Structure formats: C-alpha cells, structure tokens
C-alpha cells in the first residue's frame, strides 16, 4: 500500500494551494482528483477578482495553479475517493477504482456540485438542452434562445457570458428580485439580450429528445407560461461533495464539513477546506486561504504525532 504524509482530496484552488505548502514543508503529498485539476474554476468563464492575475479565463487560472503544483513536485493522481477510514494516527483513503492509500493526514477540498431544480424533464433532458455549465455548453446554442435559472452572481455572470453567443436570454428567478450585485446586473443589462421573469418557478423542462420549451409559473398568481427555448442553464446553488464521508460524522445537517479556525474537523488529522466546509463566502481566494491554513496545521499535527 502506498504511504503518504498527507493526501489532498480535490484539485480545486483550495486543494492546490494546500499542496504547495505541504510539499514545501517536505511532507510526502498526494493530490487525488476525480475530474480535471482546477475544480469549479474550470467551468467558470472569467475570473477578475483573484489578486495579481487581472482578468483571466477559468481555464488559464486552473492551468497556472496546476503548473505551479507540478513545478514544486506535488504528486497528482486520478482518483474518485469513495471513503476514508480513520485508524487513529493512520488514515486509509479508498477510491472507487479499488486503490487504497495510507496517510497520516487528509485534507478534504472536494467542493460542491450544482443543484438541480428537480422539475420534471430536467434529468431526462440533461445534456440535451439542459445544462449547468455555460462555458462547457454555451457554444451549442449559437443564435438560439435560452433560459437561465437563478438570480445570484453565478446566474447573472453566466448569462452575460452566454450573451456572447446566444440570441436571447430569459432569466427566471423564483424570488421577485435578483440577488446578484449591481455590477453583474449592469453588465448583463448592457448586453441588450436579457429579459427577466422574476417571481417565477420552473414547472417543467419540455421535449422528447431535445429541450423544446420551459414551462414556468408565477408564484403569486399561479399563471403558467411556456417559453420556447432550446437551452436552459441552471445556476441555483450547490450541494457539498461529502457522500464519501458518511460514517465519519464530520458534516452538518446540510452535508458541509464542520471545521474550526485551523480547518480541523473533530477527527485529529482530518481537515476540511474551501467550498465544502460550512462558511460564509465561497470564492477562489477564500478556498486558497483555507488550504494554506490547513496545510500549515497539518505540518504541526504530523510533527506532534511523530513525537508520540
Ligand atoms: C459559475 C461559477 C463562477 C464562479 N466565479 C468565481 C469568480 O469569478 N471568482 C471567485 O473567486 N470564485 C468564483 N466562483 C467560486 C469558485 O469557483 C469556488 O469558490 C472555488 O472553486 C472553490 O474551490 P474548492 O477548491 O473549494 O473546490 P472546487 O473548485 O469545487 O474543487 C473541488 C474539486 O474536488 C474534486 N472532487 C470532488 N469530490 C471528489 C472525490 N470524491 N474524489 C476526488 N476528487 C473529488 C472535484 O472534481 C473538484 O475538482 C465561481 C463558481 C461558479 C460555479
């Protein structure tokens, strides 16, 4: 069985930042990732609030961070982590592919995945007009009409991104206001392609093989309307990626990992960072900060158990 000082689960910005600090502290580090390095940055069109980088694409910032980890010698492997077994000073990390790794500490930076509306037709038409990623799927809807579901920053910023290719966008939000900030809303409006249906919920995504329309309902009047669109992009929040932690009892009632200010969970040697922890602000910079704090405390923890 391969043995490590620390295993980092997830190569998002949090995990990658943590890995820089653990390898520089001479800890034998393995970073496991089930998709591509970058995490949610990979499905983000543009980032302009990470200090020092100006305006970069999500792909560019992902690549820069990943290259940095590789320059410093972080070991990176594909691995879909399916469980962690706590054996005191040693933890076992298991993957769905059957690999088992032994480690002194684990840093969990597994992030979140997009939430669905659960409306009829959503899963059937997923990838057939219904999408959770504008940067991945936007180009399929050149000159078409689409719906964007949600009213927060992600929804409005992604709608602005989609406006570069699609013909028209109807933003459908269940609340009767938008929660996005003013700058994001102004930029969206400046595209001249937005229409808003505020105070509307999704009734269904309609179509046999491809999305043909989205049925919406006014939450006050109950009046139902059909929007003839070929694409629907859903941005209504996220669900923490913590199913593989079942049994460890380190998550709260919503599935987010509970940590203290050192990013420690209640199990010594297991840390949580980034979007997957219970916290106020989920951003690249805050994930990087969490990863940094966890890594420094992992070093101290490993030092302490080696003197036992
Ligand atoms: C559309 C959109 C736009 C955004 N725009 C910005 C922005 O402009 N600026 C900003 O600061 N933030 C932005 N954010 C937020 C930012 O992307 C996140 O806060 C940040 O990526 C969180 O980093 P993380 O490392 O915690 O997790 P993530 O980036 O979510 O990475 C987690 C990684 O863990 C992997 N993983 C999950 N489960 C497992 C498992 N079981 N085994 C192995 N690997 C696993 C995932 O595949 C993923 O790669 C945006 C988010 C979205 C969705």
Domain boundaries, the chain: 2-113+238-306, 130-234
From the CA of 48, give the closest atom in ligand 1.
Answer: 8
Q: Cβ contacts of residue 61 below 8 Å, gap of 6+?
A: 13, 38, 41, 47, 50, 53, 284
Residue range 203-230: mean pLDDT, rounded: 98
- Cα atoms in the Cβ-side hemisphere of radius 13 Å centred on 302: 23
From the CA of 134, give the closest atom in ligand 1.
Answer: 1
pLDDT tier for residue 30 given thresholds of 50, 70 and 90: very high
Among protein residues, the one with the nearest Cα to ligand 1's atom 30 is 111
Domain 2-113+238-306 has CATH 3.50.50.60: yes
Mean residue pLDDT of the chain comes to: 96
Task: Assess whether the region 2-113+238-306 and the region 130-234 belong to the same CATH fold.
Answer: yes
Torsion of CA 8, 9, 12, 14, to 10 degrees: -50
At residue 109, the pLDDT reads 98
Secondary-structure class of domain 130-234 per CATH = alpha beta
Query: Percent of the chain beyond pLDDT 90?
Result: 90
What's the CA-to-centroid distance between 110 and ligand 1, angstroms?
8
Evaluate: CB of 33 within 6 angstroms of ligand 1. Answer: yes
From 41, 47, 154, 243, mutation site for ligand 1 pocket: most ligand atoms within 8 A of C-beta: 41
Are 134 and 154 a contacting pair, CB within 8 Å?
A: no
From the CA of 43, give the closest atom in ligand 1.
Answer: 1
Q: Cβ contacts of residue 213 below 8 Å, gap of 6+?
A: 206, 207, 226, 227, 228, 229
Which tokens sit at 140? 């399929």
From the CA of 47, give the closest atom in ligand 1.
Answer: 8
Evaluate: CB of 156 within 6 angstroms of ligand 1. Answer: no
Tens of pLDDT, residues 150-193: 999 989 999 999 999 999 999 999 999 999 999 999 999 999 99
Q: How far apart are the C-alpha atoms of 177 and 85, rounded to whole Å?
A: 45
Cβ-based neighbour number of residue 268 at 10 Å: 15
Evaluate: CB of 111 within 6 angstroms of ligand 1. Answer: yes
Lookup result for tokens 């003839």:
228
pLDDT tier for residue 47 given thresholds of 50, 70 and 90: confident
At residue 206, the pLDDT reads 98
Q: Cβ contacts of residue 77 below 8 Å, gap of 6+?
A: 30, 31, 32, 33
Tens of pLDDT, residues 243-279: 999 999 999 999 999 999 999 999 999 999 999 999 9
What's the CA-to-centroid distance between 42 and ligand 1, angstroms?
8
What's the CA-to-centroid distance between 189 and ligand 1, angstroms?
27
Q: Checking DSSP bridges between strand 200-206 and strand 231-234, what pairing results, if any?
A: unpaired
Evaluate: CB of 17 within 6 angstroms of ligand 1. Answer: no
Evaluate: CB of 14 within 6 angstroms of ligand 1. Answer: yes
């Amino acid at each position: 069985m391969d043995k490590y000082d620390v295993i980092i689960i997830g190569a998002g910005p949090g995990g990658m930042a943590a890995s820089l600090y653990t390898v520089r502290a001479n800890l034998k580090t393995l970073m496991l990732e089930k998709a591509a390095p970058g995490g949610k940055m990979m499905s983000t069109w543009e980032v302009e609030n990470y200090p020092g980088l100006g305006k970069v694409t999500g792909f560019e910032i992902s690549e820069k961070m990943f290259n940095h980890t590789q320059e410093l010698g972080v070991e990176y492997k594909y691995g879909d982590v399916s469980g962690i077994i706590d054996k005191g000073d040693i933890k076992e990390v298991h993957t769905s592919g059957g690999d088992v790794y032994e480690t002194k500490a684990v840093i969990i930076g597994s992030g979140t995945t997009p939430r669905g509306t659960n409306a009829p037709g959503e899963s059937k038409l997923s990838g057939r007009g219904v999408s959770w990623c504008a940067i991945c799927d936007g180009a399929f809807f050149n000159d078409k009409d689409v719906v964007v579901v949600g009213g927060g920053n992600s929804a409005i910023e992604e709608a602005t991104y989609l406006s570069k290719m699609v013909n028209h966008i109807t933003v459908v939000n269940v609340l009767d206001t938008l929660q996005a900030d003013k700058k994001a809303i102004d930029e969206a409006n400046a595209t001249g392609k937005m229409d808003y249906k505020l105070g509307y919920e999704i009734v269904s995504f309609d179509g046999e093989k491809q999305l043909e329309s989205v049925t919406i309902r006014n939450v006050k009047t109950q009046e139902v309307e059909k929007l003839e669109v070929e694409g629907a992009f859903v941005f209504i929040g996220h669900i923490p990626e913590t199913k593989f932690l079942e049994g460890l009892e380190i998550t709260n009632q919503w599935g987010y990992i509970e940590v203290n200010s050192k990013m420690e969970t209640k199990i010594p040697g297991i840390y949580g960072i980034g979007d997957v922890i219970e916290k106020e602000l989920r951003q690249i910079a805050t994930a990087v900060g969490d990863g940094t704090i966890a890594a420094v405390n992992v070093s101290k923890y490993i030092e302490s158990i080696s003197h036992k």
